[in-house]
Structure 1
Amino acid sequence: MAKDMRKILIIEDDRNTATLVATYLEKDGYFTLVENDGVKGLQAARKEQPALVILDLMLPGIDGLEICRRLRNESNIPILMLTAREEEIDRVLGFSLGADDYVVKPFSPRELVERVKAILRRTQPVFTAPRILNFGRLQLDPEKHKVTLDREIINLTTSEYKLLYTLMTSPGRVFSRAELLKQFYEQEEAVIERVIDVHINKLRQKIEADPGNPTTIKTVRGFGYCFSDHEPTP
């Protein structure tokens, strides 16, 4: 099924909140689907293939974190978490499971729409540099939006892919966490820098031979990260 880039799925058990979000999105030209429990919401995400999912954490049936985990294991559908939980640990957990953004209730509906637009802009496939990038056994094909290791496809989240692409196109350059945040989050004041560490750790688990002793994506203590500029020995 082709993905409709104007279709937004809202999984929210508070009907007033769901209606408010849907109303503002539809005023901006989006088509919305609403589900009020976790089981039906997960089914709708799988069936409808929306451009983005707005996901509450506290849901009957299956909670939002579990839905996020399952969806991220199956697809790269962008996910915006919408919740009353504002503790840092909840945000870090949400991002570690693959969420693309996190909005805390009460919220501005207008701001939420702008965040949806920002997520959709930054999660589009990268076509600006179709050159295939190679580093030892690792290959990134921007035109096909595909990453392989030993010719086996590596399933990356949208954030992981864009992070790898950013680092891989500038081997040896050290990026600060703040610089990397600007690549993904236009409203960076709402995002903590630890999010980059979470994405880097998840990425290393997928591409490093020894994630505990990384040689591809290196940590520059007290500053940030860089992609190795030395080809690995065969």
Structure 2
Amino acid sequence: MDKKTKILIVEDEESIRDILQAFIQQNGYFVITAADGIAGYNLFVREAPHLVILDIMMPRMNGYELLTKIREISDTPVILLTALGKEQEQARGFDLLADDYIVKPFSHTILVKRIEAVLRRNKPDNPPDDIIRHGEVELRRNSCEIRYRDALIDFTPKEYELIKFMLENQDHVFTRNHLLDTLWGEEYYGNEKIIDNHIKNIRKKLDCELIQTVWGMGYKISSENPK
């Protein structure tokens, strides 16, 4: 198991969340947590975890709804963790493309074994490293750097976060409001034009069409190399 593997736990009960985090971290994983579905989704798109452990009965957005939103943009493995043990409830989870389903109460040791099994099944042939390359653009996660044609480009923290998020979710069209909620947070009440300004600045610094405008919808980075 790679000790850099990042696991997101979305669980509204603080005591359970804390116990899970401590136990899973003891087994060498890096763990991040959220207390409800909306916070969990925002953390998912921002942090790009390798696996999600997801409770079903949560406020604001339940686990089924969150799983559906995750599957719209990612095939990251998801383990559902819940007290709902009926066959039809488990079937619904698998229909929504969950990778495993664990009913409370459960053994923490078995949970870790399930995590290992799911990660093993979903291990890519060529595991991603800390560098995202897209045409002549290179983003380095560890050092928070972006290079273009091997030259280091000076971006603000928000510009870097915007490029990183969109590179990690290529071909997905994001509205201004979605980008605001994800990168600035739900408590931000400023003008959505701040997104346009950031993208305008990014385009000035990169002599290529990295971020594309999808008229009437928003912005995206295509998986095809920029021109």
Range into which the TM-score falls when normalised by the shorter chain? 0.5 to 0.7
Does 2:8 match 1:6?
no
Does 2:65 match 1:66?
yes
TM-score, scaled relative to structure 2: 0.53
1:51 paired residue number: 50
Contact 2:37 2:60 in 1 (8 A): yes
Opposite residue 121 of structure 1, the aligned amino acid is R
CA distance in 2, matches of 1:51, 1:30: 10
TM-score, scaled relative to structure 1: 0.51
1:41 paired residue number: 40
1:20 paired residue number: 19
Contact 1:5 1:50 in 2 (8 A): no
Does 2:124 match 1:125?
yes
Number of residue equivalences: 124
Secondary structure at the counterpart of residue 81 of structure 1: strand
For 1:149-228, list aligned pairs within 5 A.
none
The percentage of aligned residue pairs carrying the same residue is: 40
In the TM superposition, what is the alpha-carbon distance from 1:19 to its structure 2 partner?
1.0
Contact 1:42 1:67 in 2 (8 A): yes
Secondary structure at the counterpart of residue 76 of structure 2: coil
In the TM superposition, what is the alpha-carbon distance from 1:10 to its structure 2 partner?
0.2
2:95 paired residue number: 96
Opposite residue 17 of structure 2, the aligned amino acid is A
Secondary structure at the counterpart of residue 124 of structure 2: coil
2:114 paired residue number: 115
Contact 1:13 1:36 in 2 (8 A): yes
In the TM superposition, what is the alpha-carbon distance from 1:105 to its structure 2 partner?
0.3
CA distance in 2, matches of 1:125, 1:42: 23
Unaligned 5+ runs, structure 1: 128-234
Opposite residue 90 of structure 1, the aligned amino acid is E
CA distance in 2, matches of 1:5, 1:46: 18
Deviations 1:108-149 (A, max 9, x none): 11110110011000101247xxxxxxxxxxxxxxxxxxxxxx
Secondary structure at the counterpart of residue 62 of structure 1: coil
Secondary structure at the counterpart of residue 61 of structure 1: coil
Contact 2:4 2:30 in 1 (8 A): no
Opposite residue 105 of structure 1, the aligned amino acid is K
Deviations 1:201-234 (A, max 9, x none): xxxxxxxxxxxxxxxxxxxxxxxxxxxxxxxxxx
Unaligned 5+ runs, structure 2: 127-227
